[in-house]
Amino acid sequence: MRRRGLVLRKTIDISMKLLSILFVTVAVAVMLWILYTVCSKGIEAFSWSFFVEPTKPYGIPDGGIANALLGTVIITIGAVIIGVPPGLLGGIYLSEFARNSKLGNIIRFSANVMMGIPSIICGLFVYAMLVYSTKHFSGFAGSVALSVIMFPVILRTTEDMLCMVPDALRESALAIGMPRWRATFSIVCKAASSGLVTGVLLAIARVSGETAPLLFTALWSDDWPFTFFTQPTANLTVTINEYATNSPFNVMHTRAWGAALVITFIILILNISCRIIFKNKEHAS
Amino acid sequence: MSYCNKKLIQPEYSDRIFKVLTGAAAILAALLMLGFFVQLFWYALPSIKTFGWRFLISSEWDPVKQVYGALPSILGTLITTGIAVLIAVPVSFIVSMFLVESAPAWFSVPVSYALDLLAAIPSIIYGMWGLFVFVPFMQSTVQPFLANTLHLKSIPFFGGNYNGFGFLTSGIILALMILPFVSAVMRDVFKMVPSVLKESAFGAGATSWEVTYDITMKYGARGLLGAVFLGLGRAVGETMAVLFVIGNIQTMPKSFFQAGTTIAATLANNFAEAEGIFKSSLFELGLILLVMSFLIQVLAQLWLKRISRQMGES
C-alpha cells in the first residue's frame, strides 16, 4: 500500500472540509440571492390594481396580471382534468395487473424516458397535433401540452404509492367478495390516498411553472381567458417572458417580477403542502 | 398472483372492463412516446428532404435564401450542457457529501430542505434572474476578471469581446438549475452506503476525506453516474433559463464569452414567425433534440436498471 505522510493527509482532509463549507455557502448564497431578487423586485409591483386589472398593451400604464393569473389557473385545471385520470388508471394497471409482465416493463420504461423529455418537445408535439391542424392557438392546447408532461409523472408516482400497499389488504378485500375494481378503488387507493394526492399536487406544481410548452400552444393575450378553446389564452409564465424580453419599459419589467413572485409563491406553497400532507400521514401510520 | 384465483372468484364482466380501461391508459405512455417521434418526423420531412444530411453539419442560417443548418444550435447545446455538468457535478458532489457525512443536523436538515424546494422553482425565474442580475454581474465582474486578471483572453476559446451574454453565462445558470436535482440524487447515494463500511475505514485510521473518496465514492460510483445522467437530461433541453441569457445569435461558437444559441432557444425564438421550410427545419431541430434527450434517458434507465439488478444479487 502507498504510504502518505500524516501531515499531508490531514491537510487534504481539512482543505476538503473547508472547500465543502465554501461550496455549500456559495450554493446557498446564490439561491438566497435569487429568492431575494424575486421578492424585493416583485413586491414593488404589488398593488390592488395589479391583481384585479388585466394586462394592457405596451405603453399603457396601470395594467395588472389578473387575466394571466386566471388563465394559468384555468389552463392548469384543464391539464389536471385531461392528465390525472389516465395517469391514475395507468398507475393502477401497472401496480395491480402488470408488476412483472413484459408489457408493464415496456410501459414503465417509456414513462421514465418520457419524464426526461424536454418540455419544449411536448409543446412542439401538441402544436403539431392541435394548433397546426386547427390553425389557431388556444388555451386548451396549452392544457393538453401540460397534461402530456403530467401524465408520466402521475403514472409512476401512483404505481409507487400503490405498490407500497400490502398485498394482505387486497387479499382480504377480495376474500369478502368484492370485485377487483371495487377492491382497488375503495381499499387499495384509499389506503394510499395521501400518497396519490401528493403525487398529483407535485405534478401540478411541476407544470404550473412551465413556459416553453405554452409558447407553442396557449401563447398569450391581453384579453380575459374566456375564449379558452379557440383563442390564445393569457397565462403568467408567457406574460413574464414577453414583459421581460420584448419590452424596453421598466414598468413592464417590474410587472414581470411581480408575476414571477406570484408564480414562485404558488409553487412553493404547493410543494410545502405536499410535504406536510405526506409527513402527517407517515407519522399517523 | 395468488389473490386472483379464478376458481374462487368469478371473473366478472365489470372487472374485465376495469382491466381493459386501466391497461389502455397505461399503454398511452408508450403510444405517446412513439407519437413524439412520428409527429416530429412527419413535420420535419420537408426539411429532411430538402437539406439531407447537410442540415446536421451546415452552419448556414439564412431566412432570405431559405437555407438552414443546425450545427451552431447543436454545438451550442453541447457546450452549455457541458459547462453546466462540469460545474454542477463536482459542486453537488461536495455539497451532498458535506450535508450527509459531516454537517450537523441543525445545518444539514434545513439546507437539504431548501435545496429540495429550489428544485421546484420554475426555470423562467432562473432565466429572468440571469437576464436582469447575473448578466450585468458577469459583464462587470466575472468576465473582466477571467479575461484580464487571469489573462485567459490569450487562450483560444476565451478570447473576443464579452457583454455578459453567451455560453459561459448560460452554462452557469444551467448549473445552478440542475444543482438541486443532482445533489438530491447524490445525497441518496451517500445515504445508501452501509455505515459498517465507513466505520471500519475510520477504525483503520482513515480521515473523513479518505473515507469519502475511497469508500463512499467507489461504493456509490454507479449511482453517482446516474445522478450525472439526470443532470445532463435536465440541462440539454432546458429552454427558458437559456433563452434569456444566451444572446440568440446563429453563429459558430468560437469563444465561451461569445453569444450564441442552443436548439431549444432557437426553437422558442423563431417558431412564432416561421413559415414553410423554415418551420419544417425547426421541427427537424426539435427532432434532433428529442433524439439526443431520448438517448440520454435510455442510457440512464438501462444503467440504473443494471445497478439495481447487481445490488439485488449482492
Say what the ipTM of the complex is: 0.90
Of residues A200, A219, A261, the one with CA closest to residue A65: A261
Q: Does A261 touch chain B (CB under 8 A)?
A: no
Phi, psi angles (nearest 5°) of residue B62: -135, 95
**Residue B105 in domain:** yes
Quote the CA–CA distance of A154 and A83 in Å, as a whole number: 8
Cβ-Cβ contacts under 8 Å, A10 against chain B = 207
Closest residue in A to B36 (Cα) is A125
CB contact under 8 A, A245 and B244: yes
Low-confidence ranges of chain A (pLDDT < 50): 1, 285
Residue B187 to residues A51, A278, B224, B227, B234, Cα–Cα distance (Å): 40, 20, 9, 10, 18
Contact B19 A124 (CB under 8 A): no
A169 in contact with chain B, both atoms CB, cutoff 8 A: no
Size of interface A-B (CB pairs under 8 A): 253
φ, ψ for residue B25 (rounded to 5)?
-65, -40
Contact A110 B29 (CB under 8 A): yes
pLDDT at B10: 54
How far is the C-alpha of B66 from the C-alpha of B51, rounded, in Å?
11
Whole-number pLDDT of residue B78: 94
CB B148 within 8 A of CB B109: no
Distance CA B273, CA A224 (A): 24
* Chain A: closest CA distance from residue B119 (Å): 10
Split into its structural domains, chain B has a count of 1
Choose among A39, A75, A66, A72: nearest CA to A264.
Answer: A39
Q: What pLDDT does A86 receive? A: 95
Q: Taking the model in full, what pTM does it have?
A: 0.90
Q: Do B290 and A209 touch (CB under 8 A)?
A: no
- Per residue in B210-242, pLDDT tens? 888 888 888 888 788 888 888 898 899 899 999
Identify whether B44 is part of a domain.
Answer: no
Residue A94 to residue B40, Cβ atoms within 8 A: no
Domain at B113, CATH number: 1.10.3720.10
Task: Pick the residue of A133, A150, A211 with the most B CBs within 10 A to test the interface with B by mutation.
Answer: A211
CA nearest A84 in B: which residue?
B25
Q: Which of residues 76-135 of A touch B (CB under 8 A)?
A: 85-94, 96-99, 103-104, 106-107, 109-114, 116-121, 124-125, 127-129, 132
Question: Is residue B12, in this structure, part of any structural domain at all?
Answer: no
pLDDT lower than 50: segments of chain B: 1-2, 6-9, 314
| CA distance linking residue B154 with residue A13, whole number of Å | 35
Q: How close, in Å, is residue B130 to chain A by CA atoms?
A: 9
Give domain status of residue B19, yes or no. no
Number of H helices, E strands in chain A: 14, 0
Q: Does any CB of chain B come closer than 8 Å to the CB of residue A206?
A: yes
Is residue B51 situated within a structural domain?
Answer: no
Per CB-CB distance under 8 Å, the chain A contacts of B37 are: none
Residue for cell digits 421546484? B120
Compute the distance between CA of residue B205 and CA of residue A12 in angstroms, rounded to an integer.
15
pLDDT at residue B131, as a whole number: 92
**C-alpha grid cell for residue B147?**
479575461
Residue B49 lies in a domain: no
CB contact under 8 A, A113 and B233: no
Indicate the SS3 state at residue A209. coil
Q: Strand B67-68 and strand B61-62: pairing? A: antiparallel
Judged by CB atoms closer than 8 Å, whether chains meet at B289 and A256 is answered as no
CA A216 to chain centre: 18
Closest CA to A139 of A190, A72, A202: A72
Residue A17 confidence (pLDDT) = 86
The residues in A 265-284 lying below 8 A from B, measured between CB atoms, are 267-268, 271-272
pLDDT of residue A162: 93
pLDDT in tens, A238-250: 999 988 887 778 8
Which residues of chain B are within 8 Å of residue A187 when distances are taken between CB atoms? none
Distances (CA, A) of A55 to A41, A234, A254, B78, B132: 18, 9, 13, 38, 22
Alpha-carbon distances of A100 from A54, A91, B143, rounded to whole Å:
52, 14, 54
Cell of residue A238, nine digits:
408567457
Identify whether the C-beta of residue A234 lies closer than 8 Å to the C-beta of residue A54.
yes
Distance from CA of A285 to the nearest CA of B (A): 23
Q: Quick check: is B17 in a domain?
A: no
Count the neighbouring beta carbons within 10 Å of the beta carbon of residue B276: 10
The residues that bridge with B67 in the sheet, in sequence order, are: B62
Residues of A in contact with B96 (CB under 8 A): none
B3 neighbourhood in chain A, CB within 8 Å: 167, 170-171, 174
Distance between CA atoms of A211 and A216, rounded to whole angstroms? 9
In a domain, B52, yes or no: no
Cβ-in-10-Å burial (0-12, 13-18, 19+) of A4 comes to exposed
Supply the range of the domain harboring residue B146: 73-313
Amino acid at B221: A
Range list of H helices, A46-185: 48-52, 66-96, 102-115, 119-126, 132-134, 139-163, 167-175, 180-183
Q: CB distance A119–B237 less than 8 Å?
A: yes
Provide the pLDDT for residue A4: 67
Please state, as a whole number, how many other Cβ atoms lie within 10 Å of the Cβ of residue B192: 12
Residues in chain A with CB shorter than 8 Å from the CB of B18 are: 179-181, 184
Q: How far is B127 from chain A (nearest CA, A)?
A: 9
A245 contacts B268? CB cut-off 8 A? no
Long-range contacts of A34-41 (CB under 8 A, 24+ apart): A34/B121, A34/B125, A34/B126, A34/B129, A34/B176, A35/A264, A37/B129, A37/B132, A37/B133, A38/A257, A38/A260, A38/A261, A38/A264, A38/B125, A38/B129, A39/A261, A41/A254, A41/A257, A41/A261, A41/B132
A37: three-class secondary structure by DSSP: helix
A181/B118 touch (CB, cutoff 8 Å), yes or no: no
What distance in Å separates residue B215's CA from the closest CA in chain A?
15
